[in-house]
Structure 1
Amino acid sequence: MKKHTDYVRWLPAILWMGVIFFLSHQGAGSSSTLSSGITKTIHDLLTTLLPWLELDLDFFHFLVRKGAHFTAYLILGLLVSYARRPEGPKAYGSVFILCALYAMSDEFHQSFIPGRSGELRDVLLDSAGALTGILLFLSLTCRRVRITVRESSRKSA
């Protein structure tokens, strides 16, 4: 039987999936208002810090929306990796498949929301974000193992 902590490790990933679902369930108007507000805030901050910078607001809005997709699934890739504690390529592959399937289901879900659509390019972008999160998790895990091994060898020397 698994320890209680094994199930608790999945809680952050499941909660994050809920956040993604909630944001995907917003109608086009609400979603656009949210992303436009975020875009304007970032745009104003950038133009204040870098007054010489000229940004096309519509294109910048597009980048913010697509960046949100990538970032949301990067976080999901990290959280599912943490929950799954993969060891070996097959286990990491299963983490990627789970994240990619969730991205597909998310876009399918959006196709039923008024004013929204499911797009293959968003599934690909989401999957790329998840893969980046998985690779980041792998990198951090390997780094932690190297540090632990290095400290152990210093203590035994």
Structure 2
Amino acid sequence: MKQRMKYAALAFTLGLMALIFYFSGQPAADSYKLSKTVTETVQTDGISFLLPLWFDAENFHANLRKWAHVAIFAALGVGMALTMHSWLSGLTLRRQGMQAAVLCVLYAASDELHQYFVPGRAALVGDVVIDALGILPSVAGVCLLVWLHQKQR
């Protein structure tokens, strides 16, 4: 992989990790306020049709927060898989994918531990599982696309 792409993948991954750390460091009141603003924007701007039909209107805010976990960690999975592929080219694609997934899940667990020390926040194993629901398919998807690309060569 070209040098620029190696550094772009690394910068993207580290940037997402910093963003996750920043959001996790927000006290509960600030975090709630931000996500409530996003929820209201989604509902009032008419883009709620993009969300799954089974989103319960009563729990819309909580559901949106959980899906935000899935989305940001899916993006981290993509970045980490690309980073592993570009920096660890001596490893098999399967090994690169496994390392990317493990590192992302460990980061998700450390993110929950970080939240434990933030006022009003809690560390929840369930959130790590939700994060993994974003990580695993995204890493697998990147590995599949890389494999298909290599197969065409």
Find runs of 4+ consecutive structure 1 residues off by over 4 angstroms: 3-7, 55-58
**1:41 aligns to 2:41 (yes or no):** yes
In structure 1, which of residues 107, 110, 121 is the aligned counterpart of residue 112 of structure 2? 107
The equivalent of 1:93 in structure 2 is 98
Deviations 1:83-108 (A, max 9, x none): 11063322211111100000000000
> Aligned partners of 1:6 and 1:42: how far apart in 2?
34
**Residues 48, 140 of structure 1: CA spacing in aligned structure 2 closer, same or farther, 3 A cutoff?**
closer
Paired residues of 2:84 and 2:100 also in contact (CA < 8 A): yes
**Residues 47, 124 of structure 1: CA spacing in aligned structure 2 closer, same or farther, 3 A cutoff?**
closer
Q: Which moved more, 1:56-65 or 1:30-39?
A: 56-65
**1:128 aligns to 2:133 (yes or no):** yes
> Aligned partners of 1:10 and 1:47: how far apart in 2?
32
Q: Which moved more, 1:6-15 or 1:59-68?
A: 6-15
Deviation at residue 47 of structure 1 after TM alignment: 7.9
Paired residues of 2:73 and 2:132 also in contact (CA < 8 A): yes
> Aligned partners of 1:29 and 1:14: how far apart in 2?
26
> Aligned partners of 1:47 and 1:10: how far apart in 2?
32
Q: What is the TM-score when the length of structure 1 is the normalising length?
A: 0.79
Unpaired runs of at least 5, structure 1: 150-157
- Report the RMSD for the aligned CA atoms in angstroms: 2.7
Paired residues of 2:42 and 2:48 also in contact (CA < 8 A): no
The equivalent of 1:15 in structure 2 is 15
> Aligned partners of 1:56 and 1:104: how far apart in 2?
28
Unpaired runs of at least 5, structure 2: none
The equivalent of 2:31 in structure 1 is 31
Deviation at residue 5 of structure 1 after TM alignment: 4.9
Which amino acid is 1:59 matched to? N
Structure possessing the higher radius of gyration over alpha carbons:
1
The equivalent of 2:78 in structure 1 is 78
Q: What is the TM-score when the length of structure 2 is the normalising length?
A: 0.81
Deviation at residue 135 of structure 1 after TM alignment: 1.6
> Aligned partners of 1:103 and 1:20: how far apart in 2?
9
